[in-house]
Each structure stands twice: as structure tokens, then as C-alpha cells.
A = this chain, B = another copy of it.
């Protein structure tokens, strides 16, 4: 890391420790979180990045008087070493070496640890409190965050206007959604729910915003009652007359500062309030409890209906994927034309140039609103950094004989896309082709799967890993995450992961299918399509109705990286059929040169096409 940055970060640590001393604290916890506890954090709440330099989407630091540690998961173990000064922070694994154990080991009796109750769930606070107690120390929740007191030049909170998400994309009127979600509250025996997740509120009210990068979220809180009415805590300046007309009766906009008093009123009225102990800030739960409300633990009632896309949303995502696929095909054709030749000519494509090129193609697509996340554009060893983000200091050329991994997506008014392709620049090695083909086998096993109602993503996860496992290989991330409809590119509650996930896959859910393989210091491979869960009716009386996946993403998979001998006939048939579908989808709407390229890139395996 640059020395000047390290010096600045060292100063920030000193300021923080001085501030802690002023507050009689012996330590403070700095999670990568805002009050919504989600993945999408506005600039004014990027306290972890400001303090440590770490820019990943998940992590936590604990700063004590004499030592500090940063905790990140497997996706970020390489990145954290690049971004964070080892002299300032110990590096720890977020789940295998959790912060509470470190706190218990390094605090002493009588010490006081501070935490911001807006940035932790109740469950996290309980874990911290138990850890601190083990050390004979205590936890004191802070009214205001000590970092905010020392952060000079802190960006203002976002204040972008909120806009209507029209019915032609949303599919279901907000009033109907409120009725549906309200029934979910009543079913759980509650009078109201506090909604903390901005995407739940955006879905519920059919609104979108621009408060955070890459996801069209208005940051807000809301209280939804069992009668379907909503109190929406939103800075009044964000809502113009058109928006107020759009949300209609039954939704009252309140100043964000009114949230506390409204929670107090719920308590005073003896109401039963539904809260998610791992999804709501401890501040909210503490306030409700203090006010005398009865609490029921349960899932946010918007999560499941939001995950199950309605027919209009599904039609929208198919249309968005069609346009997104065309942009990606143009990009892949450009890359195939240029990358090897330019590398040979000593003028290679750079990672950031590729990002810009891809964005320029997407930018020409109808309804495009921006990227759905920061593009991962990793050449050679950078591809092995799972959540790599190219920057000016790490703008690697796409070198001959290397793999290039590009994971990107678009936000369109009618859908959100997320796709990863791995390309060979020049001739790949036999090992690269073996690994790529194993990843592909996993991708195909999942894409082809039929499964009975009630099956969870956790039950299917191993299908995507089996071919890698057989060779002693694996990947240290989930196989699939939910995806929103012109909303968050990562959403729950369903996931395809190793750990138990209790949510059954249901028709209309969109998930990614993204097995990978990463060889540190050498290359990364990932093949990602989005798929929608669909019904697959029985074909005979012996059969049961099953569910299945419809692949939404429409872009060729690198044929040069496939070792066809490793594929069995069903796998080859799937790939050929997928490629035929991609070719047919883009038969119109591409220039002649790109169309010709696509024909080769999607030719059946073994039939020629591009060199294999």
C-alpha cells in the first residue's frame, strides 16, 4: 500500500483512540454497516473503509487501546492484505476467528468496549456482550458514533429524490402488496412490523431511489401495520408531489427523526411488534422494548413475496437479460477480436479499459440505469481475488496465456442482471481447461436440475461442487444468491450455499448459478448465469410435479476453455442447446460482424466454430 495512505490511516487510528479515551472507552467496534444492516452502504456510513482502507462489502474492525484487528471472510482474505496496513491491524477470518473470541482474549477486567447500536443487530450485540463479559469487561452502547466526531470531510447523507417504480415494471400495485404483507404480520401474531431493509420498503411501495451506488434504493425505515397502513420515515425533501401522489392513501411520510417516538407510541399502546433479531438494528429493538412493546421475532414479511417475482417482473427480467446479453456479446466479440492481437503487439487491453468498454455497450441498451455492482475485471492472478476491483494502481493487462474473469451486471428499469464469463487470452493450459470444464460441469448440473417442491438451495449446492470435489478442488463462496427486480443484486431469503438455508426455492425466485475455481497467484474461473425457478409439470402419471431452473442470462460460454472429453453427453447437449438459444435470442439486433462472431462462439461443441 502507498506510504502516504498508511500515514493517514495511522493518524485516523490515533484520532479514534483519543476520542475513545475522551469517552472513557477502551475499545470500539467498527462494522461495515449502516442502520439498515444491509450490504448497500452510503458513503457517509463507510466508516470501516475510512478507518482501515478496506473497501470490501463485509467486514468488521475492533480497535482496542494497544491493538486492533480487522475481520473479513474468505472472499476478502487477499484484498484485505492489499488494502490494510498490517502494522495497524491484525488480520482475522470473520467466521472462523470471530471478533467476539478476539475481544474476549484481548480485553481485561474492568475495561469498557463501545458499540453503536444502530450498526449491529440485537443478536450481534448479545454476542459482543457475552464476549466482553467473559473478559470481565463491559459493553456500553454509544448515543452517537465516535468516528463521526473525528471524520473530517465526511460526506453528507444521501438525499436523492425517490421516484415511482411504475406498474408496467412492478406488476402489482403497492396497495395490494401492503395488503399481502399485512396478512403476513397478522399471521405471525403481530400488530405491526418495523421495516429496516430499504429494498423491502422499495418493493412494498413500488418506489426506487439513488441513495447508494449500484442499487436503486431510497434509504428509509417504515412501520407497516396489520391493517396495511404504512408510516414511512423519509427525509421530506426526497419526496416530491408526484411521489406523494404515487404512494396514495394509506402511506404517511414522516420525518426520519419521528421513528423513535412512533416506536414509543407502539409500546405505549401495548402493541405486539414483529422484528427480525438478526435484521433490525439493536437500537430499534431496545427502543421498542423500553417503550413496553411486546416483541415477536420473525422474518420481514416483504422478503418472501419480494423474492417470488410476479409474471410482469419475470417478463421484465427476460427482456432485460435479452438486452444485457446483446451488450455482453458485443463486448465478448470485441475482446475476442482485440485482446490476443493487442497483447501480441505489446499494447494489451487493460482491466479498466475492459470495464469501460463493457459499460459503454450496456449504456446503449434501452432502460439501462447503471451497473448493478462494481464490475470485477480480473486478468491472470487478479481473477483469483474473488471480489477484485481493478483500480489505477492495479490495472493489469490482459496478458497472453492468461485467463480473464469479468463479473458484471446492469440495473434496468425492468430487471437486474449479474453475469460472469471467463475468457482465455491466447492459448490456455490443459490445467486451465480441466478446471474450467469442472466448473462448467457444476454449472450445468445445477442448471439442469429438477427438484421437488420444498427443496432448499442448501440441498442443491453440492451439485455445483461435485466435479471439483472429485479433483480435490472447491471454491470458498456460495453457489447462488437471490437477485432483485430492478433492486438489489444480492437479496434473500433463498440462497444456494453449503450452510443450511431454511427457505425452499419457489417459483418466481431468481438466483445466480455461479460455481468457480481460484488458483491464488495464477487465475480465477467463474461461470455465472442467473436462473429463475419455474414449474416443471409431471410428464406422466408416475411423475410428480417438480420445480426447475430457467436460465435467464444469454451470452456464450468460452468454448476454448472446454475440455470436451470431460463432458458427458447430457452436459454437451445442455451446452449446445444453451448456445443455440443464445444465438437465436440475438439473431436480430446485432451488427453483422458481431452476429458472425456469435455464430462461431455458439457453434455446437466439436463442430468447429471458434478454435477449440
Contact = CB atoms under 8 A, between A and B. Distances in A.
Residue with the greatest number of chain B CB neighbours at <10 A, chosen from A459, A460, A569 = A459
Contacts of A448: 470
Interface string A52-76: 0000000000000000000000000
A123 interface: no
Interface in A511-548: 519, 536, 538-540, 542-546
A472 B539 contact: yes
Contacts of A502: 500
Interface in A528-573: 536, 538-540, 542-546, 568-570
A474 interface: yes
A395 to B, nearest CB: 28
A451 B568 CA distance: 21
A496 to B, nearest CB: 11
Given A458-B458, A458-B500, A519-B542, A452 B466 contact: no
B461 A463 contact: no
Nearest to A571: B568
A545 B472 CA distance: 7
Contacts of A540: 472
A459 B543 contact: no
Given A458-B458, A458-B500, A450 B470 contact: yes
Interface string A469-480: 111111000000
A453 to B, nearest CB: 11
Which residue, A462, A474, A543, has most C-beta atoms of chain B within 10 A?
A462
Contacts of A473: 542-544
A276 B571 CA distance: 47
A472 B568 contact: no
Contacts of A463: 462-463, 466
A498 interface: yes
Given A448-B470, A452-B474, A459 B498 contact: yes
A438 to B, nearest CB: 12
A281 interface: no
A491 to B, nearest CB: 22
Contact of A459 (B445, B452, B462, B471): B462
Contacts of A539: 472
Interface in A435-467: 445, 448-452, 455, 458-463, 466
Given A461-B459, A500-B500, A469 B546 contact: yes
Contact of A469 (B452, B500, B570): B452
A36 B280 CA distance: 42
Nearest to A460: B462
Interface string A575-606: 00000000000000000000000000000000
A546 B539 CA distance: 39
Nearest to A470: B450
A451 B459 contact: no
A232 to B, nearest CB: 37
Given A460-B462, A462-B459, A500-B458, A472 B519 contact: no
Contacts of A570: 568
Contacts of A461: 459
A439 B36 CA distance: 47
Contacts of A546: 469, 472
A452 B462 CA distance: 11
B469 A451 contact: yes
Contact of A462 (B462, B472, B474, B544): B462
A481 B477 CA distance: 29
Nearest to A519: B542
Contact of A543 (B449, B455, B471, B545): B471
Interface string A489-504: 0000000001010100
Nearest to A522: B542
Contact of A445 (B449, B451, B466): B466
Q: Which of A445, A463, A466, A539 has the most CB of B within 10 A?
A: A466
Contacts of A542: 472-473, 519
A42 to B, nearest CB: 36
A449 B469 contact: yes
Contact of A451 (B462, B536, B544, B545): B462
Contacts of A452: 469, 474
B469 A450 contact: yes
A35 to B, nearest CB: 32
Given A452-B469, A459-B461, A472-B540, 19 more contacts: A450-B469, A450-B470, A451-B462, A451-B469, A455-B462, A458-B459, A458-B500, A459-B459, A462-B462, A462-B463, A463-B466, A471-B543, A472-B536, A472-B538, A472-B542, A472-B544, A473-B542, A500-B500, A519-B542
Ranked 4 nearest A-B pairs via Cβ: A472-B543, A500-B500, A568-B568, A450-B469
20 contacts: A445-B466, A449-B469, A450-B469, A451-B469, A452-B469, A455-B462, A458-B458, A458-B459, A459-B459, A459-B498, A463-B463, A471-B543, A472-B540, A472-B543, A472-B544, A472-B545, A473-B544, A474-B544, A500-B500, A568-B568
Interface of A: 445, 448-452, 455, 458-463, 466, 469-474, 498, 500, 502, 519, 536, 538-540, 542-546, 568-570
